[in-house]
Amino acid sequence: MTEHNSESVSDLTKHTEPKDAVDCSVRSETNILPNPKNLQELTSEVAFELVQILIRKSLHISLAESCTGGLATASIVSVPGSSAILDASVVTYANHAKTRYADVPEETLATYGAVSEQTAGAMARGIAQENGANLGIGISGIAGPGGGTPDKPVGTVCFGIYYRESVSSDPKETLITITKHFGDLGRDNVRAHSVYFALSQALKLLK
């Protein structure tokens, strides 16, 4: 099974909105999906490593999840010691929840839709800034079985990974936005792959 993605990496100034980010590079690639039989174990390993590196660097994380419904947060919470690094997590399923709890601009949702890199990026940045975290993760997608369109078929999931070293000074901010097309794997599988991918990308950014 293969899937496709597009990725944007942005260096942001403190007051720049994700859609206005500068120094942005985009690439597309095809990757092999992890074996579903090993996915839970792989996710646990990534979550453990992510928590350890956050503890070691004295960093904090917050998450805004839509289609994954809190599964990414649950993977982090399952790791002993996660209370030292997890500030807040919200399931922002509805658009108004994305705006209220993750500070996603209504204009972004109206222009690009809930399942978009712009929205996922805003979720990641907003949830981190609202809760004083260094690392923010935003996930929004179409897990199925319904809800797909020709432009955004079932299995389309958008991710935002936001990072800033400091929350008190004027830090350099990094925002990565990625769209993955997992395919119609079934609702639970799309969600499970999304969790593994989101945590893997967050870990990759911190290394």
User: Would you write out the chain's pLDDT as a tens digit for each of its 207 residues?
Assistant: 434 555 555 554 333 344 333 233 333 334 568 776 799 999 999 999 999 999 999 999 999 999 999 999 999 999 999 999 999 999 999 999 999 999 999 999 999 999 999 999 999 999 999 999 999 999 999 999 999 999 999 999 999 999 999 988 777 899 999 999 999 999 999 999 999 999 999 999 999
Amino acid at 47: A
- Residue type for 171, please? P
Question: What predicted TM-score, i.e. pTM, was given to this entire model?
Answer: 0.87
| CATH number assigned to the domain with residue range 2-206, chosen from the 4 options 3.30.420.40, 3.30.1300.10, 3.90.950.20, 3.30.2350.10 | 3.90.950.20
The pLDDT of residue 9 = 55
Residue 148 to residues 70, 140, 143, 152, 157: CA-CA distances in angstroms?
21, 13, 9, 6, 11
